[in-house]
Structure 1
Amino acid sequence: MEVELVKWPAEESRLTELRSAGSARLLLVEERAAPPVSTDVLEDWVRLPCGDDDLRHRMFVLAERVRKADLSRPTLDENGVLRCNGAWVSLPPVEHRLVAALLDRFDAVVCRDVLARAGWNDVVPDRNVLDVHVVRLRRRIEPLGLVIRTIRSRGYLMEHQHT
């Protein structure tokens, strides 16, 4: 994951955007400014002025900390934004509900009936409707490093893509 350099407090709005995107950030804190308080593993700061070696070292350490942290667990917010591995996608309502059910049992099989009830509440769609939504969902989540596998005669399983 690339580390973004952010001038603090001059680029406060950019910092907010990077936080929302799940990007790693190294704040370059102005000489007389107070650094923001953050416990986010994706964020660190260094006071200016600082030498190039110190800056490179701090960026390397932050990148390693991020790499070692378990940031790969997908999260889904109430607005249908699915985040994983520092990237995100926006999901339409039906796919949002399907992903919520798949994340409840991440790395485990979710049977078709459970998935159909999650996606459509009272009305259970025919088999083809669920299959079409799963195909769309597979394409949408691929950039996040996630896959949905078909488990024959059982259901679906969401997991990390193995390379």
Structure 2
Amino acid sequence: MSASVGDVRGRMSSEEVRLLRWPVQREMRERFRSLKIPRILVVEAGVEAPVCDDIYEDWVRAPIASKDLQSRIDALVRRYHKSRLPFLDEGGVLRFSSRSVTLSPRQAELLDLLISRFGEVVPREALWFRLCQESGGLKTRNALDLHMMRIRQRVTPLGLTVRTVWGRGYVLDTEPEMKSVAP
């Protein structure tokens, strides 16, 4: 195998993708699975490949070229990050982690915009435009503030927060303590 077995950083911010030898490090696999740590199992020659039914896991057969291994790491990183984003279905149900909450149609419209820019500032004007567009006319300036207050109350039990960025807009993000434990 061209890449060494051990810890490999795969362009993740603070998370790590772990390389584990299979089947020698079977116990570590289970420990990392319980902690939801992304991992790639390096299957030794002549050994049957394991069933990977966890989105945080993949496997490769040794030897593997560094370029191919990096591609697998990148794919695992994309799946890992995608699973950590809130998801709003067509029925107005917001899902995050293993929890969900039902939203009103207007809350869902505003949250759809916040989710599309998860972790980034969404300008107040963009949210205001979306609110006016969906409600069929202009509303008072406080209408957006009221909707945002209600959205904050709805998303807090999911481990999400809506922060106000003074003079710019709002940011949908995970609660600070949830960043280290959210799957």
Asked if TM exceeds 0.5, the reply is yes
From 87, 90, 111, give the equivalent of 1:75. Answer: 87
Q: Give the conservation status (yes or no) of the 8 Å contact 1:80–1:91.
A: yes
| C-alpha distance 148-85 of structure 1, shift in aligned 2 (>3 A) | same
Tell me if 1:136 matches 2:150.
Answer: yes
SS of 1:73's equivalent? coil
Identity in percent: 35
State the TM-score, normalizing by the size of structure 2: 0.52
- Between stretches 138-147 and 64-73, larger displacement belongs to 64-73
* Equivalent in the alignment of 2:172: 158
Once residues 37 and 101 of structure 2 are traced to their aligned partners in structure 1, the CA distance between those partners, rounded to angstroms, is 20
Once residues 61 and 104 of structure 1 are traced to their aligned partners in structure 2, the CA distance between those partners, rounded to angstroms, is 30
Once residues 37 and 102 of structure 2 are traced to their aligned partners in structure 1, the CA distance between those partners, rounded to angstroms, is 23
* Equivalent in the alignment of 2:46: none
Once residues 101 and 31 of structure 2 are traced to their aligned partners in structure 1, the CA distance between those partners, rounded to angstroms, is 27
* Equivalent in the alignment of 1:84: 96
| C-alpha distance 87-62 of structure 1, shift in aligned 2 (>3 A) | same
From 108, 114, 127, give the equivalent of 1:115. Answer: 127
* Equivalent in the alignment of 1:13: none
Deviation at 1:63, TM superposition (A): 3.4
Once residues 160 and 88 of structure 2 are traced to their aligned partners in structure 1, the CA distance between those partners, rounded to angstroms, is 13
Gaps of 5+ in 1: 1-56
Matches within 5 A, 1:16-95: 63-65=34-36, 69-70=80-81, 71-95=83-107
Once residues 98 and 86 of structure 1 are traced to their aligned partners in structure 2, the CA distance between those partners, rounded to angstroms, is 22
* Equivalent in the alignment of 1:36: none
Gaps of 5+ in 2: 1-27, 39-55, 57-79, 178-183
State the TM-score, normalizing by the size of structure 1: 0.58
* Equivalent in the alignment of 2:77: none
Deviation above 6 Å: which 4+ runs of structure 1?
Answer: 57-61
The structure with more radius of gyration:
2
